[in-house]
Amino acid sequence: MIPAFDINVTAKKAELAILKTLVYFDIFDYPLSQRDIKSFLECHLHDEVLTRALRQLISDRIIFKTGEFYSLQNNLQKAEKRLQGNLRAQKLLPRAAKIGAFLYKFPYVRAVAVSGSLSKNYADEKADIDFFIIAKENRLWIARTILHLFKKLTFLFGRQHFYCMNYFIDEKALIIPERNIYTAMEVVTLMPLAGNYTMNKFFEVNSWTEKWFPEYESGENLRISEKESWFKKFTERFFNKRKGDSLDDFLFALTTRRWQKKAREGRKNSKGKIMNLITGKHFSKSNPEAFQEKVVAMYQNKIDQLKNAIF
């Protein structure tokens, strides 16, 4: 039995931790179940303490409960929207698993994972399938170029939104340098699809995410694919050593120049957002309209407002 004094002391900490969790997901209009809240808390909480804190926050009308979901907003439509998005995600995940296994067969691909909203078990009516890809050391740009040449073919069949490869790193850059709530969330919610050894190593070297989400445990258990292809084996053998080094350097420089030009011209993607590709020798990531920075800033502003108003 937990002493009353400990419960009272922990209550304020629990309330603030709950609010921080709800604030982050409120940016995306996504209400949470009690299980979700526990998964994304910044600290370990006893279930009894968590339940009492939720009841108190509801009693104080700081948060609201609609069905099984908690939110900063008393909005039934958002709860219904979440349920519909969860159902669409469950239908889309098997397709994502097949595509991930297929992408793993491309040269120099060492691991594939689902990222973005689908990795949080949500898909809207026009959902993309976002992929996080780890390439062989010093071969990222060969891998990325071949994959994006393939993606151009998917436009012919209107399937390009199923092949959104937005974030590449290679084996030399497994550690994610930005350490904030956004990157921590994106790392822990990745759903591995292929490359078991490399994905395990990635999660191991990014254990800093435990500071943000010490309670998080992955709920999805998608099958890990390790099947390769003759095309992958042949290409990797052909571009071994110096030949591959030179080609990778050339493609890195070429792609960087092209994207810098697009950024200067203010080019927009299919969703109307200004394109922004951040590149380095060992990484390539899309960050349209500085989305990550905006989310982190919005989160901090909302937390500061709540602290001033409540605490």
Average pLDDT over residues 146-151: 96
- For the chain, the structural domain boundaries read 4-74, 82-294
Average pLDDT, the chain: 89
The residues facing 66 across adjacent strands are 69
CB < 8 Å & 24+ apart, contacts of 145-149: 145/251, 145/255, 146/106, 146/107, 146/235, 147/103, 147/106, 147/109
Number of residues assigned to the chain: 311
Asked if 79 and 71 count as a contact pair (C-beta separation under 8 A), the reply is yes
Residue 2 pLDDT > 60, yes or no?
A: no
Average pLDDT over residues 30-41: 96
Residue 269 has what pLDDT?
60
Return the percentage of the chain with pLDDT > 70, whole number: 90
Residue 290 pLDDT > 90, yes or no?
A: no
Residue 220 pLDDT > 80, yes or no?
A: no
What pLDDT band is residue 1 in, cutting at 50, 70 and 90?
very low
**Environment class of residue 173 by beta-carbon count within 10 Å: exposed (0-12), middle (13-18) or buried (19+)?**
middle
Average pLDDT over residues 114-120: 95
29-33, 159-163, 168-172, range with the lowest pLDDT? 159-163
Instruction: Give residue 286's Cα distance to chain centre.
Output: 12
Residue 108 pLDDT > 90, yes or no?
A: yes
Average pLDDT over residues 214-243: 83
Residue 118 pLDDT > 70, yes or no?
A: yes
Average pLDDT over residues 269-273: 61
CATH for 4-74 is 1.10.10
